[in-house]
Structure 1
């Protein structure tokens, strides 16, 4: 009996010690934008314990544990980390794109840290991943307290043989419904979080668009495996047909024309989400030279050689001489108007960029995307909600997307109010992932000595 009592007391002391030694940090005196769509609330505080939010509420009710570190964020704004619902990882070095040369874990992790530096704490990667992505994701979910953006993947997305989509060097094409069903089942067995298909022909220049018998097989197999199916689309007629087939979300806007209320109402009725907006993708194609190339908020995250390549007159001439170049402005205009139509109709919409391929830059494009969404007619608060809780809800994520007790402490701390001006998301003060500060873009200087990096404005 005496030995049992002694063991019990030792166990209790150990548990008490574990509680005392927990990493606890309190943040106070900030204005909270919690990601739910609620208006900003001043004079707030929160407590982070071992990387998760254990309490959030008015600073007047804050009770800080004796062992906790306290940080005063007077004048700051705290929001959930941004979620980008459409990225591609590991495809490029600078602006050179080659999956076979560049896709490895080191390059993927480098890009995930750049996303984090911009306050993008979670990404959905869209159908161009090698199998090694699953090992990285398994490690992330096992460790929990990571120092880079969290990843959810569509693995190898489905491309109709000879058609538009995917990346060179990754086997992902199918020719028959049977091949399609087998591929989706094989991918889901690897651990894909959702399934992607491409239905496009690049203005009629690349093959035949995916036939509906193939897209139907993708959707059916994904749903049979308990996962959502999403589509790369361009054309109105494909969007309408896929809506009727049961697609769960679109990863681009309708762009050959403007999505009308008829389509938007069908999407709403069928529960189809416009989970990615990708306006920045379309906007990037309208420029020979990206207008932000000398902006320190952009240039700190890319190598000097990348800047030089972007400024190369020969490259600019190649872009301008493409027969497709004159068409891109209308495509952007249609995409922005389509988003506005869908939002008015009550379609659920998220924020996604299609960053990752050549000259579509991780992290920076998320901030540009949100600016373009506001220019399309949405309010800053609507856009912030789309980029946080709405994106989390699409995949059923319950531990990110809002600032609430029980969630990971993935936080973006800003010097200015993004609900007043969406460009204030660029006023990054600090970024937390699982309660740990990670280097921000203002503390990052890619491939050069820090003293040669452009200063913060």
Structure 2
């Protein structure tokens, strides 16, 4: 069924709450909003019973795993923006786009980094970029792999225990020019305020993270003037357990129930992994997000799943909570996960509820514009008007494939770290997780 009506609903349209109470979907697209002609006697009518319907959520920063499109959809995340995956995986996942119950995605394919640079530990082997002269070819190769935007990584290791080779700024400027000539936006990984300013001056369009250190007032002004968007990725904090040694995502009953036993085990193992001492101060990121919002910078909700403590789909609900805790209103947080991200990535057919848009929709009990945790009370999800089986991912082959892939990547990273850092994990505070 991809033609139906929803009535008696509060409606958040991707920017604001609107007075309409009904939506009509026909052939996978929104045909009417607020029509008075729909009645309970009509065929295919769903009574929202005062719940809230909003656009399907869009996660602006993920890395794909096998089956992650299906997992995300069960949590109401109907589009994933992949920020570095290898083309064999993106090609495989693309085969599911047209299948009911799977989210859609966009991808950067392979990100641009220096030889041996971040994130070599997770993804090697893959093509590197050695200087400005290779930028045009690098962009062309990514386009041939299906890239819809370009990712550049500017990471010198200043926020990690060891130095990391990094692209020089001349190369980043050349990448930006080549990408813009191909009508692609550029997303830049930069984790410090100085690095963020460096790449902003190169002309990038989106910062992949809110900086981990305090943004100075002069830096904040420059970021705001540039028009760059910022993906918040505050959910990275969820990889660090509190005094109870538990990771936060399992502390929400509605999320935990749909996460299932297998992913629960993964998260519990991650809570016991090695951690730096001291752990990062994530309150600084919250202050940065609040100041960026106040300065008028467009914020995009992204989780960086599947980093430790994060799960595709489920972590978007945590990201929304983090945004509200940082000072955004619930409606502003929801906009960061819908309309603003759709605009930033030129997804003109989604992210808002309006006639002609894709019927990517989430129906939640309660009112997330008043209480952001109500997004977790999921009643229905539709992707292009097709209903998502909310329980279909758990115990599926997709789940098994995703967890196996994550374990393999984790083992690869741990092997690489042990070679680069022989004393690991002696200087840490917890042991590494099992990858069984």
Please tell me the TM-score bracket, short chain as reference: 0.7 to 0.9
Q: What is the Cα-based RMSD across aligned positions, in Å?
A: 2.5
Secondary structure of the residue that 1:237 maps to in structure 2? helix
Go from structure 1 to structure 2 and tell me whether the alpha carbon gap of 1:447 and 1:325 turns closer, same or farther (over 3 Å shift): farther
Larger Rg over CA atoms: 1
Q: CA deviation at 1:180?
A: 3.2
CA gap 1:308/1:374 in 2 versus in 1, 3 angstroms: same
Closer/same/farther in 2, CA of residues 373 and 66 from structure 1, 3 Å limit: closer
1:236 maps onto 2:185 in alignment: no
Aligned twin of 2:33:
56
CA deviations 1:343-401 (Å, max 9, x no partner) are: 11101111011012454211111001110011101100000111100000011111100
TM-score of the two chains, using structure 2 as the length reference: 0.83
User: Greater RCO between the two (CA within 8 Å, min separation 6)?
Assistant: 2
Corresponding position of 2:406: none
| 1:187, distance to aligned residue in structure 2 (A) | 0.8
Distance 1:235 1:69, change over 3 A: same
Alignment of 1:203-282 (within 5 A): 203=159, 205-255=162-212, 257-274=213-230, 276-282=231-237
Normalised to the residue count of structure 1, the TM-score between the two structures is 0.79
Partner of 1:187: 142
Matches within 5 A, 1:41-440: 41=19, 44-57=21-34, 61-63=36-38, 68-90=43-65, 107=66, 110-134=67-91, 136-137=93-94, 140=97, 143=98, 146-165=100-119, 167-202=122-157, 203=159, 205-255=162-212, 257-274=213-230, 276-285=231-240, 287=242, 288-293=245-250, 295-302=252-259, 304-312=261-269, 316=271, 318-319=273-274, 322=275, 324-328=276-280, 330=281, 332-440=282-390
Distance 1:431 1:221, change over 3 A: same
Q: What is the distance in 1 between the residues matched to 2:123 and 2:328?
A: 37
Provide the rounded CA distance (Å) in 1 between the counterparts of 2:41 and 2:267: 53
SS in 1 for 2:123: coil
Name the structure 2 match of 1:28: 7
Distance in 2 (alpha carbons) for counterparts of 1:412 and 1:86: 20
Q: Which stretches in structure 2 are left out of the alignment for 5+ residues?
A: 398-436
The answer to whether the 8 A contact 1:286-1:325 is kept is no
CA distance change for structure 1 residues 63 and 444 in 2, over 3 Å: closer, same or farther?
Answer: same
Ranges in structure 1 where 5+ consecutive residues have no aligned partner: 1-21, 91-106, 449-457
Cα distance in structure 1, aligned partners of 2:112 and 2:322: 29
